[in-house]
Chains A and B, each alone.
Chain A
Amino acid sequence: MIIDPKVTKLSIFNGGGGIVEREIKLSLSQGTNEFEIANVPASFDPNSTDIKLEYISPADKDLITLQQTIVSLPDVNTSQQIINREQSAATNIISYSIDFTRELREEVSNICEASSYRTYADMKGTFNFIINSKVNGEVIVKILYFIADLRIKWETTLQVNVNNDGKSAEIEAYLVVDNQTGFSYEDVELGFAIFELPMAAIETTGAEFASAVNIPMEQQAFTELSKQKRTQRMRNLML
Chain B
Amino acid sequence: MKANVPTRKKIKLNWFKSGANLDVERNIEMQYDANSVIYNKLNWEVSVKYVLVKEGDPKEIPINSQMTLYKGGLPFLFLSTAGIIGNKIISEELIDDDIKIDDDIVQVVEGEEKVTYEDARDPKQHIEVRTRFDKISRRITIENKLDNEIDLALDFKQTKDVTYVKSTPEPTTIEEPDYKFEIKIPTEEKSRITLELQAKIVKRVTKIKPEFIKEKTPI
Q: Taking beta carbons and an 8 Å cutoff, which residues of A are in contact with B?
A: 10, 14, 113-114, 117, 152, 155-162, 166-190, 194, 235-239
Do most interface residues of chain B lie in helix, strand or loop, or is the interface mixed?
Answer: strand
Asked if B69 and A162 make an inter-chain contact with CB atoms under 8 angstroms apart, the answer reads yes
B4 within 8 A of A: yes
Whole-angstrom CA separation of A179 from B81 in the bound complex: 23
B7-15, B25-33, B192-200: which one contacts chain A?
A: B7-15
Chain B residues with CB under 8 Å of A194's CB are 60, 62
Asked if A168 and B2 make an inter-chain contact with CB atoms under 8 angstroms apart, the answer reads no
Asked if B7 and A181 make an inter-chain contact with CB atoms under 8 angstroms apart, the answer reads yes
Question: CB-CB contacts of B8-44 with A at 8 A, as 1s and 0s?
Answer: 1111111111111111100000000000000000000
Chain A residues with CB under 8 Å of B67's CB are 157-158, 160
Asked if A155 and B7 make an inter-chain contact with CB atoms under 8 angstroms apart, the answer reads no
B217 within 8 A of A: no
Q: Residue of A at shortest CB range from B69?
A: A160
Asked if A185 and B70 make an inter-chain contact with CB atoms under 8 angstroms apart, the answer reads no
B68 within 8 A of A: yes
A171-B18 contact given A155-B65, A158-B81, A181-B7, CB 8 Å threshold: yes
Number of interface residues of B (CB under 8 A): 43
Partner of A159 from the list B3, B6, B68 (CB cut-off 8 Å) is B68
B51-59, B98-106, B169-177: which one contacts chain A?
A: B51-59
Whole-angstrom CA separation of A155 from B10 in the bound complex: 11
Chain B residues with CB under 8 Å of A190's CB are 1-3, 5, 13
Chain B residues with CB under 8 Å of A155's CB are 62, 65-66
B148 within 8 A of A: yes
Asked if B21 and A184 make an inter-chain contact with CB atoms under 8 angstroms apart, the answer reads no
Cross-chain pair count, CB within 8 angstroms: 144
B208 within 8 A of A: no
Chain B residues with CB under 8 Å of A176's CB are 10-13
Whole-angstrom CA separation of A179 from B60 in the bound complex: 22
User: When A and B form their complex, which 3 residue pairs have the shortest distance between CB atoms, in order from nearest?
Assistant: A156-B65, A173-B15, A185-B5
Q: Residue of A at shortest CB range from B73?
A: A161
B136 within 8 A of A: no
Question: CB-CB contacts of B65-81 with A at 8 A, as 1s and 0s?
Answer: 11111110100000001
Asked if A173 and B17 make an inter-chain contact with CB atoms under 8 angstroms apart, the answer reads yes
- List 23 A-B pairs, Cβ < 8 Å: A155-B62, A156-B15, A157-B68, A161-B73, A167-B23, A168-B20, A169-B19, A171-B89, A173-B18, A173-B59, A175-B12, A175-B13, A176-B10, A177-B5, A178-B10, A179-B10, A181-B7, A182-B7, A183-B7, A188-B3, A188-B4, A238-B60, A239-B1
